[in-house]
Amino acid sequence: MIEGVIDKSPRIETERLTLRKWEQRDLDGLAEMNADPLVREFFPQEISYAVSERMLSRMLSKQETDGFCFPVVEDRVSGMFLGFCGLGILDHSVDWPFEGEVEIGWRLISNAWGKGIATEAARFWLGFGFDTQGFGEVVSCTSARNSRSRSVMQRLGMVWDVSEDFDHPQIEEGHPLRRHVIYRLSRDKFAGQNHD
Domain range list for the chain: 12-191
Res. 114: pLDDT tops 60 = yes
Per-residue pLDDT, 69: 84
- pLDDT for 1 equals 33
In the CATH scheme, what architecture does the domain 12-191 have? 3-Layer(aba) Sandwich (3.40)
Q: Is the pTM of this model over 0.85?
A: yes
- Nearest Cα to Cα of residue 84 among 153, 144, 49, 33: 33
pLDDT above 50: residue 31 = yes
Nearest to 19 by CA among 104, 90, 78, 76: 76
